[in-house]
Amino acid sequence: MNVLYIDIDSLRRDHLGCYGYHRNTSPIIDSLARDGIRFENVYVSDVPCHPSRTALWSGRHGMRTGVVGHGGTACEPFREGPERAWAGTFYEEGWMRAMRDLGYHTTTISSFGERHGCWHWYAGFNEIINPGKAGMENADEVSALALDWLKRNGSAKKWFLHVNVWDPHTPYRAPDAFGDPFAGEPTPDWMTGAVFEKFHAGYGPHSPQEPSGFDVAPGGSKWRRMPAPIADMADVKGWFDGYDTGILYADHHLGLIIEELKRQDLFDKTIIVIGADHGENLGELNIWGDHQTADEFTCNVPLVIRWPGAEDLRGVNNGLHYHFDWAATLIDRLGGTVPAPWDGRSFAAALESKADGGREFLVLSQGAWAVQRGVRFRLDGADWLMLRTYHDGYKDFGPVSLFNLSKDPHEQDDLSASHPQLVAHANRLLEDWRTEMAVKSDTDVDPLVTVMREGGPFHCRGELPGYLERLRATGREAAATVLEQRHPAPLPRRKSLN
């Protein structure tokens, strides 16, 4: 059985039809879900892009690999030192090596490694095809390479093919010729005028008055599907339409790949997996079109698997799983051995017994746009998320937030003050996890602490002075004052007495 992994960057699960979305963004993915299994609660352990794919391909949390951000020391793996194996742990103990041990020819069609200088991520691939635009290629460019590869190799060998498309990622840039398929359709009900007014008065990188970072370019956005600033509900609709059009464009080109599999009589000889490196906030926590937190919408990703002939892989799975748990499950079900250093655990046995399997709780980490850990847990029949924020990335976050996702799915009501017992419970879970990771790690370094020591999240370093000026120039003096109080100038280092 071949394996085709379609890796769609920045894909929110709740913007797919098979997950209940009101727009027809994903007819091809929906058809795969109807014939396979849909996972409701698969979470990326470390976000965003670089930490996520490092964790998935290595099977380990960022606290153990060292990769939790996009720049600075903590975007590089820990050095392995004198005990380093011949080709290093990312090869010797990685996902692709496990697939190769099962007889698979492993290929990636992706510019991800180049985009992030993530060279360790290539370990274990027999074949690397770089579309060459560092993540700015559209799905038509990627699918053309995938179709060519399948025509040359589809029936010639047993293969694992990773195809990485970027269209839902900012900037939303589906070709104009694709049109505006959602022009006549409403935005999600939760985004009301009153909700948007509150967000518009708020602050932070990628908030409505600076949706591309910390300012707006003179003349506004050059991307018509991403108006900047986001001034009113018409602009809000433009952002939702732009994002959803990117999903539909990616889905359309996935359909072309499916057609080629059918043409070669490979459709029922191929395990097809739809996943993502992370999601996308579209207003949640007042972040627009990015992935800056350890929350539900950055970390909960879709997972759809069509496994021909597998009756236990049908329907819906509600267990709490990490993304590297499904990689471990794939290895296990194919008859391989999950590498010993992995944090990923196979839940193949649970699937075979028609159970959800999964974990008691999950810990999620963000180190590129904030320094934050989330604890996703269930208690008394409700789904909860606690966020511990160590550096806010100049957003409107307190040190602790708590959300009842069952009642408040878009994280609008922070319950941390009224539910201290739940905060204490989540903190105990977080400390249990930190202890487990510390015992398993080869170093005594928490890379999120490294991010803090180097000045905070990479994408925010050096931005505060200019952003304070922007806030004051746009009538948000109170926000500027809050940020100045949270981020005073560092104290001078104590001089040595020697």
Q: What is the CA radius of gyration of the chain?
A: 22
pLDDT for the residue 83: 84
pTM over 0.85: yes
Query: Are 163 and 290 contained in the same domain?
Result: yes
- Residues 6 or more apart whose CB falls under 8 angstroms from that of 331 comprise 95, 98, 99, 102, 337, 338, 346
Which residues, in sequence order, are bridge partners of residue 162?
Answer: 5, 108
pLDDT for the residue 496: 57
Query: Are 348 and 404 contained in the same domain?
Result: no
Query: Are 329 and 461 contained in the same domain?
Result: no
- Is 491 within the bounds of a domain? no
As a whole number of angstroms, the distance between CA 124 and CA 128 comes to 10
As a whole number of angstroms, the distance between CA 446 and CA 464 comes to 25
CA nearest neighbour of 115 among 161, 172, 53, 56: 53
Query: Are 136 and 47 contained in the same domain?
Result: yes
Query: Are 224 and 250 contained in the same domain?
Result: yes
Which two tokens mark 206?
Answer: 């990628």
Domain harbouring 189, CATH code: 3.40.720.10
- Is 192 within the bounds of a domain? yes
Query: Are 417 and 289 contained in the same domain?
Result: no
- Is 193 within the bounds of a domain? yes
How many independent structural domains does the chain possess? 2
- Is 266 within the bounds of a domain? yes
pLDDT truncated to tens, each residue of the chain (498 aa)?
A: 999 999 999 999 999 999 999 999 999 999 999 999 999 999 999 999 999 999 999 999 999 999 999 999 999 999 998 888 888 999 999 999 999 999 999 999 999 999 999 999 999 999 999 999 999 999 999 999 999 999 999 999 999 999 999 999 999 999 999 999 999 999 999 999 999 999 999 999 999 999 999 999 888 889 999 999 999 999 999 999 999 999 999 999 999 999 999 999 999 999 999 999 999 999 999 999 999 999 999 999 999 999 999 999 999 999 999 999 999 999 999 999 999 999 999 999 999 999 999 999 999 999 999 999 999 999 999 999 999 999 999 999 999 999 999 999 999 999 999 999 999 999 999 999 999 999 999 999 999 999 999 999 999 999 999 999 999 999 999 999 999 999 997 666 666 555
Which residue segment(s) compose the domain that 10 sits in?
2-359
Among candidate residues 307, 338, 359, the one where a domain is terminated: 359
Query: Are 345 and 403 contained in the same domain?
Result: no
pLDDT for the residue 494: 61
Query: Are 279 and 418 contained in the same domain?
Result: no
As a whole number of angstroms, the distance between CA 161 and CA 259 comes to 16
Domain harbouring 384, CATH code: 3.30.1120
Among candidate residues 329, 359, 389, the one where a domain is terminated: 359
CA nearest neighbour of 385 among 418, 408, 356, 357: 408
pLDDT for the residue 493: 61
Which residues, in sequence order, are bridge partners of residue 290?
Answer: 281
- Cβ atoms 45, 67 nearer than 8 A: no
Among candidate residues 359, 391, 407, the one where a domain is terminated: 359
- Is 498 within the bounds of a domain? no
Query: Are 309 and 430 contained in the same domain?
Result: no
pLDDT for the residue 337: 97
pLDDT for the residue 342: 98
Q: How many CB atoms lie within 10 A of CB 378?
A: 17
- Is 497 within the bounds of a domain? no
Query: Are 223 and 371 contained in the same domain?
Result: no
CA nearest neighbour of 437 among 322, 333, 328, 288: 322
Q: How many CB atoms lie within 10 A of CB 248?
A: 24
pLDDT for the residue 86: 86
